[in-house]
């Protein structure tokens, strides 16, 4: 495998990559409802000579290589968009009322670009590259669904890699940052607390059970978990996002619903907080003669990066892109004199990282001084399409190089 020509081959496909990205962007779909997106991805794979398989509710899997014995390296790209109206100044605006404001159309495009490169170099692959096209990342459900459907089996996956484009980043477009070993993204848990009382007229509170008062105490009480029950270095955030109850100023409602989220970097702390939210909520509700029910939904664990894989992928990325376009997280921090920090956001590739040694890469895709000023999830965010070719090459090259070195 010639690294000099490999990147050039990817760049020769740039116009095709941009065309693919525009189609996906215009047909943005959300969650597991990826009818057009999935059909497009499968059709493209079939045209390349693959035999794509459905996996779970809306996932797609394809295999490259397998002609030589060896291990299995998984590369993953997510396909879903966000349920928001686009305001970005682009000629290929979404036509669906949804928006690829997190760059998943870029990821899917780069995965298809990688698929083309892998097919062209299939005889050189020392093992198998498994391509995972995933739905429902934004709701932290897609990776888990595909794992349950067997994405890590038949053949069994040995290592896994994901790339995420980053907009509004003060680094040259196409620069790759390889995450160091350890946790890089927080666990996320969403909860709903229902305080059940007994509705009555506001002039006769003794005839009912007011759920509003215990709900107010629950909101205050939950903050004490973070500030009084965790050690100084046990980073966590408990957020209350909504409170709903009642319809009239003179009526005590039957119930109040509270929703919120938890972000943690440690699985033990994560479970402790979840347990305490239930205990605090039920205890406070009982004090005021009400009842509380706590339900958790759409959570994901911490994203844990494998240290050895991080070292390997850093080497491969530098080989492919050059030392000025590829850095480990530690190298960047040393150059800037900064201190390593974990991402407060969450990523459901974390489910994969809990099962097999994995790595997350960031790909700079828009410098503010060049007009890419908005961050992910903003209705005006834009991504620099010049990174599609290098992203495709990184996906394919790192997989092939790892397999080559670990036969």
Over the stretch 49-80, which tens digit does the pLDDT of each residue have? 999 999 999 999 999 999 999 999 999 999 99
The answer to whether the Cα torsion of 79, 83, 88, 92 is positive or negative is positive
Chain-centre distance of CA 83, in angstroms?
A: 16
What are 183-197's pLDDT values in tens digits?
999 999 999 999 999
Q: Where are the beta strands (DSSP E) in 301-372?
A: 303-305, 326-328, 358-364
For residue 349 the two structure tokens come to: 């590739």
CB atoms within 10 A of CB 343: 17
Q: What is the largest CA-CA distance in the chain?
A: 82
Predicted pLDDT at 288:
98
Task: Kindly state the DSSP code that residue 375 receives in the 8-state scheme.
Answer: P
Mean pLDDT of the chain: 96
Triad 275, 279, 282: Cα angle to 5° = 140
Instruction: Print pLDDT tens along the chain (407 aa).
Output: 777 789 999 999 999 999 999 999 999 999 999 999 999 999 999 999 999 999 999 999 999 999 999 999 999 999 999 999 999 999 999 999 999 999 999 999 999 999 999 999 999 999 999 999 999 999 999 999 999 999 999 999 999 999 999 999 999 999 999 999 999 999 999 999 999 999 999 999 999 999 999 999 999 999 999 999 999 989 899 999 999 999 999 999 999 999 999 999 999 999 999 999 999 999 999 999 999 999 999 899 999 999 999 999 999 999 999 999 999 999 988 887 766 566 678 999 999 999 999 999 999 999 999 999 999 999 999 999 999 999 999 999 999 999 999 99
Interior angle at CA 228, CA 227 and CA 229, nearest 5: 110
Residue 340's pLDDT is: 57
Q: What is the DSSP string of 44-113?
A: HHHHHT---EEETTTEEEEEEE-SS--EEEEEEEE--BBSS------TT--SSS-B-TTSHHHHHHHHHH
Q: Cα 77 from chain centroid?
A: 10
Of 108, 140, 89, 91, nearest to 28 (Cα)? 108
């Amino acid at each position: 495998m010639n690294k000099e020509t490999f990147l050039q081959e990817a760049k020769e496909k740039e116009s095709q990559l941009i065309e693919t990205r525009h189609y996906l962007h215009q047909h943005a779909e959300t969650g597991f409802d990826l009818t057009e997106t999935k059909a497009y991805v499968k059709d493209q794979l079939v045209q390349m000579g693959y035999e794509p398989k459905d996996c779970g509710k809306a996932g797609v899997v394809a295999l490259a290589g397998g002609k030589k014995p060896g291990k299995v390296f998984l590369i993953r790209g997510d396909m879903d968009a966000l349920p928001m109206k686009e305001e970005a100044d682009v000629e290929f605006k979404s036509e669906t009322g949804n928006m690829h404001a997190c760059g998943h159309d870029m990821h899917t495009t780069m995965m298809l670009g990688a698929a083309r490169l892998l097919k062209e170099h299939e005889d050189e692959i020392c093992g198998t590259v498994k391509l995972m096209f995933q739905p429902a990342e934004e709701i932290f459900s897609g990776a888990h669904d595909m794992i349950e459907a067997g994405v890590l089996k038949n053949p069994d996956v040995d290592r896994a890699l994901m790339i995420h484009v980053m907009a509004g980043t003060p680094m040259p477009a196409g620069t790759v940052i390889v995450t160091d070993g350890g946790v890089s993204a927080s666990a996320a848990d969403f909860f709903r607390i229902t305080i059940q009382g007994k509705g009555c007229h506001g002039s006769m509170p003794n005839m009912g059970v007011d759920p509003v008062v215990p709900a107010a105490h629950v909101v205050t009480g939950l903050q004490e978990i973070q500030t009084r029950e965790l050690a100084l270095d046990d980073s966590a955030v408990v957020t209350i996002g909504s409170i709903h109850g009642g319809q009239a100023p003179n009526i005590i409602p039957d119930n109040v619903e509270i929703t919120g989220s938890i972000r943690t970097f440690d699985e033990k702390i994560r479970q402790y907080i979840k347990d305490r939210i239930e205990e605090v909520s039920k205890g406070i509700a009982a004090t005021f003669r009400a009842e509380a029910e706590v339900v958790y939904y759409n959570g994901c664990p911490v994203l844990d990066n494998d240290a050895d894989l991080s070292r390997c992928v850093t080497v491969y990325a530098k080989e492919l892109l050059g030392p000025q376009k590829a850095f480990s997280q530690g190298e960047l921090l040393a150059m800037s004199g900064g201190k390593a920090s974990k991402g407060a956001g969450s990523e459901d590739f974390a489910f994969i990282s809990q099962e097999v040694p994995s790595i997350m890469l960031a790909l700079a895709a828009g410098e503010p001084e060049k007009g890419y000023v908005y961050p992910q999830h903003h209705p005006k965010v834009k991504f620099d399409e010049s990174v599609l070719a290098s992203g495709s090459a990184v996906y394919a090259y790192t997989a092939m190089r790892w397999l080559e070195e670990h036969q």
